[in-house]
Amino acid sequence: MPACFWWTRWAERGAADVGQGMPGSRFDYSPGQWATLRRLLDEALALGAQEQQAWLASLDDAARELKPTLARLLAAASRPGIAALDTLPKVETDQFAAAPGRSAEELPAHGRSLGPYRLLRELGQGGMATVWLAERTDMLQARQVALKLPHGAWRMAGLAERMAREREILAGLEHPHIARLYDAGVSAEGQPYLALEWVDGVPIDRFVREGGLSVAACLALMLQVCEAVAYAHAHLVVHRDLKPGNILVTAAGQVRLLDFGIAKLLVNEAGGALQATQEGARALTPDYAAPEQLLGRPVGTAADVYALGVVLFELLTGQRPHHLALGSGQNLADALAQRAPVRASDVVVDPQRRRALRGDLDTILAKAMKPLPAERYATVQALSDDLQRHLQHQPVLARPDRLGYRLRRFARRNRLAVGAGGLAAAAIVLGAGLALWQAREAGLQRDAALLAQRQAEQQTALARRAEQAAEAQADMVGFVLADLSNDRSQADMRQQMERAVVSVRAQYRDNSFLRARLLMDIAERLRWFSDFEKANQLFAEAEPLLRAHGDAAPLARLLCIRARDVAFDGRFERAASLISEAAAELSRMPGDTARAQSACLIEEAAVARLRGDLRRAVAATEQARLLEEQTGLAESEDHAETLQSLARAYHQSGRYREAADTARAGMALRSRLGRDHTPGMMNAQAQLATSLREGGRPLDALQLHEALAAGSAGREIAVGPRRYQHAAALVSAGRLAQAAPLLVQLLADARLRNDRTEVRAITILQIQLMLDSGATVEAQAKLQEAEQLYAALLAGKRYAARLLLFARAQVGLAAGDLPGAEAALRDARELIQATAQPDDPSWRVAHRLQARLYLLRGEAQPALDSAEAALRLSRQQAVNPQASLCIAEDLLLRAQVHRLRGDQPQAQADARLAAQHARDAAGAEHPVTRQAQALAV
């Protein structure tokens, strides 16, 4: 058990420190002796004192060696010290009491000594500490210092150790704009102290305000600040508590930064949050603290960048960009959610100042204060450089704030369905240590939660405003989650989700309405990571709550998702009824249901697809797309997902051109939304590549795959299926030598993962490759493997089994086993007939194979009919009807048939056209190109 282990280590830590006068151990018994002692004690303690003596005397030989010990032990019962064991003795102290309030005796007083310092006068009091002007008395020259004395709970043991550690680093910061830390220690009375360089200056905001400084002057000061912070960062020290109060300016106009890293010294990670629960204590000034800091996440130099942004904003506009009003009893998550980004130029009144701020400075500030650390300036130096550029009238490097733009756009949409959940979800995903930052006042006020409920019931102006803020935040959530999934592994994300679930259950224990919505939110995201089991658990948990509250939109979504899941199991009736139920829920709901409806249409399409009804799948998805475009939902990531679904639906129907176009539209949309390196984008690109390949453009597909591979190097994002598509593109493009080893590797990986679908697909592709290379014997062997893999699907007459039958037929044709090929082909046609629709792309394959069969049999007319049937389909399905490998293949086939018929001119014409197609779509080296060229002469 981990806990046990930890404790033991802990206990060992102090083992070396044995004080004077401590007795030696009396526990040096062997296990055998110990057991015996205990048994004997049992006996003895059952007797009275007198009887014990007799008993002792009568101990037999075996126990005799223990007799003195026993005597001693029994005697111990009457020693005075025995009572002392009943409870901890008291230990006196004068200043160790960690009382929340401060009594008079505890405060240091003028003239008192503290360590080597003599206190002169009190300079000020903060939430954490009192600062005194003090003099160092043990040096030749008395030096004046600012002595910072943490009070309250900070005056506890353990601080000395921390201080010593950090002292080295902080004392080493020597910079003209940084106030030195001279010393840190703990006095004999247990009072920790920090001795800082005494700076005679005023806080920078006061300096700017009272001096009426111009923009340029403010920036010049800021550059000094940046210099100092950058220096510290170079020494691996993060300030963590930058604010005007810590940035002093001397009369000479020189900046001095205080308290570098002090916040870290004094704040134990867990203690920081805990501190806030005590009266009068505030570990951080929330207005300047970066979101990740407030939520207890790891803090890096980006947090300082953020704070600098806030400070600069304040200097330039006279106001803070946002106020975090925690005092009213909101919890942190809600408070953070109320902060919307503000443009500096928007808040100033003076037109001259506004002109000066608009544009570059707005952009610089926005970039410094991005909620996500990764989106800010990477270094303070970068911020400083941009400020310099602005001062020198050069273009700055920061780009305009698209997030602000996007948020305003999104505020127009009605996201009632996810709105309330988005509020807290953002905070949950950003940080794990939430729920501890509660207001000082006792009792939780649930304003935000009640508001969310009210907005479901009635549309008041207040509710609408909160709703808009929630909408904006909800979109931020989506971005945040998608962003996180870029830089983290899927395992990290899943863990993050787990923590989110726990937090939701704890924090919204008493609010089932919000809890249900949040759990829905998380569950839907879990599906992105294919964690269906966990997602279903959450759905099951949320459903009764949603029903109880009559929360129609998320309930409808839940039902639709469930519909898809049961459809996956083949229970189409059940799926259909779930969808109707969902539709009924939606119709009952007042207000705008577009998003929920669209989501349900997507699920309906998925069900249809599983049923094999591709037409319905396409139709439903097209409906969803249209609905979204008409209701203004089109500039969103959800719409990009809809486009993705549509592209997939087209693709499965063999409408490759439309599939490619739709995939491109999705990619363009994502790019506009700034979602360029997300898994969603990669999926869209992969879909495009696949459609290009199937639609007869293997070279284009290959190019795209290569770009994708380069782009996602080093990232762990669902790579498997994409690599398979890449391999398929290689095979299509005739790059057999390249494809072969890749397939071997993919097969091994897929087997390792026990991904049977992928193993099957790879095996089929390998057969294709072998046939294309003319390795018929190997292909036959592979086919045997495939037979095993597909046995169950074949027996179940599943659509997927057609691939096996095609492979059988192809191998048969190559090996000269025409009856075998014929049988396989017949079975394949039967299967497709039963499970697919007339325009299913598989028909083309069937026709081609049929044509080849007839060709080998020498039956010209049937061969021609089949070849033409295939050609018709490949023309229909081609992405580029002027240049398609599929058309080339079918033309080549027809050419061969014409040659069989003895119609040489027609054969050559077809072959020439085939060569043209093939050259453009697949390159001059492609086997089809060469074969066609050979036939053309």
Partner 1 sequence: MPNDPEVAAAPGAAVDARFEATYHQLKRLAHARLRDGGRDVLLDTTGLVHETYLKLGQQAALQFPDNAHFLSYAGRVMRSVIVDLVRQRRSERHGGDLRRVTMTGEVMERLGLPGSEDHILGVHEALQDMAKLDERMARVVELRYFAGLSDLEIARALGITDRTVRRDWAHARLFLVDALG
Q: Which of residues 191-220 bind partner 1 (CB under 8 A)?
A: none
| 85 interacts with partner 1 by CB under 8 A | yes
In the complex, minimum distance from the CB of residue 21 to partner 1, in angstroms, rounded to a whole number: 6
Exposure of 398 by Cβ count < 10 A (0-12 exposed, 13-18 middle, 19+ buried)?
A: buried
Q: Are 307 and 369 in contact (CB under 8 A)?
A: no
Q: Which stretch binds partner 1 (CB under 8 A): 154-162, 316-324, 372-380, 791-799?
A: 154-162
**Given the complex with partner 1, which of 438 and 486 has the nearer CB atom?**
438
Q: Specify the residue for token string 């939902």.
A: 633
Encoded one letter per residue, x for contact with partner 1 by CB under 8 A and - for no contact, window 34-73 reads x---x--xx--x--------------------------xx
Q: Specify the residue for token string 């037929």.
A: 809
Kindly tell me which residue out of 157, 442, 713, 937 binds partner 1, with binding defined by CB under 8 A: 157
436 three-class SS: coil
CA nearest 724: which of 666, 766, 753? Answer: 766
Q: Which of residues 403-442 bind partner 1 (CB under 8 A)?
A: 432-433, 435-436
Q: Would you state the torsion angle of the CA atoms of residues 327, 330, 334, 339, taken in this order, to the nearest 10 degrees?
A: -20
CA nearest 850: which of 858, 862, 861, 839? Answer: 862
Q: Residue 831 has which token pair?
A: 């299967």
Find residue 196's DSSP bridge partners: 146, 181
Q: Which of residues 747-766 bind partner 1 (CB under 8 A)?
A: none
CA dist 125 to 106, 121, 478, Å? 14, 12, 42
In the complex, minimum distance from the CB of residue 284 to partner 1, in angstroms, rounded to a whole number: 17
Handedness of CA 911, 912, 915, 920 (dihedral sign): negative
Q: Which of residues 513-532 bind partner 1 (CB under 8 A)?
A: none
Q: Residue 637 has which token pair?
A: 């990531």
CA nearest 733: which of 891, 885, 876? Answer: 885
Measured CA to CA, the distance from residue 895 to residue 297 in angstroms comes to 68
In the complex, minimum distance from the CB of residue 782 to partner 1, in angstroms, rounded to a whole number: 43
Q: Which stretch binds partner 1 (CB under 8 A): 9-17, 58-66, 722-730, 815-823?
A: 9-17
One-letter amino acid at 599 equals: A
**Given the complex with partner 1, which of 71 and 217 has the nearer CB atom?**
71
Give the neighbor-by-neighbor strand order of the sheet with 201-203: 201-203, 247-250, 255-257
**Given the complex with partner 1, which of 125 and 137 has the nearer CB atom?**
137
Tell me the site size for partner 1, rule CB under 8 A.
80
Measured CA to CA, the distance from residue 41 to residue 25 in angstroms comes to 20
Measured CA to CA, the distance from residue 516 to residue 513 in angstroms comes to 5
197 three-class SS: strand
Q: Are 563 and 603 in contact (CB under 8 A)?
A: yes
Q: Which of residues 96-135 bind partner 1 (CB under 8 A)?
A: 96-100, 113, 115-116
Kindly tell me which residue out of 92, 168, 200, 533 binds partner 1, with binding defined by CB under 8 A: 92
In the complex, minimum distance from the CB of residue 37 to partner 1, in angstroms, rounded to a whole number: 8
| 269 interacts with partner 1 by CB under 8 A | yes
| 588 interacts with partner 1 by CB under 8 A | no
| 699 interacts with partner 1 by CB under 8 A | no
Q: Which of residues 270-289 bind partner 1 (CB under 8 A)?
A: 270-271, 274, 278
| 81 interacts with partner 1 by CB under 8 A | yes
In the complex, minimum distance from the CB of residue 75 to partner 1, in angstroms, rounded to a whole number: 8
Annotated active-site residue in 241, 362, 483, 638: 241
Q: Which of residues 320-359 bind partner 1 (CB under 8 A)?
A: none
**Given the complex with partner 1, which of 112 and 355 has the nearer CB atom?**
112
Q: Are 840 and 832 in contact (CB under 8 A)?
A: yes
**Given the complex with partner 1, which of 90 and 121 has the nearer CB atom?**
90
**Given the complex with partner 1, which of 165 and 465 has the nearer CB atom?**
165
Measured CA to CA, the distance from residue 908 to residue 904 in angstroms comes to 6
Kindly tell me which residue out of 153, 576, 717, 736 binds partner 1, with binding defined by CB under 8 A: 153
| 189 interacts with partner 1 by CB under 8 A | yes
Q: Which stretch binds partner 1 (CB under 8 A): 124-132, 150-158, 347-355, 640-648?
A: 150-158
| 254 interacts with partner 1 by CB under 8 A | no
Kindly tell me which residue out of 49, 50, 64, 87 binds partner 1, with binding defined by CB under 8 A: 87
Q: Are 866 and 856 in contact (CB under 8 A)?
A: no
Half-sphere exposure of 934 (CA within 13 A, CB side): 9
Strands 181-186 and 192-197: antiparallel
| 23 interacts with partner 1 by CB under 8 A | yes
**Given the complex with partner 1, which of 26 and 64 has the nearer CB atom?**
26
Active site residue 569: no
- Residues comprising the chain, all counted: 937
Catalytic residue IDs: 241
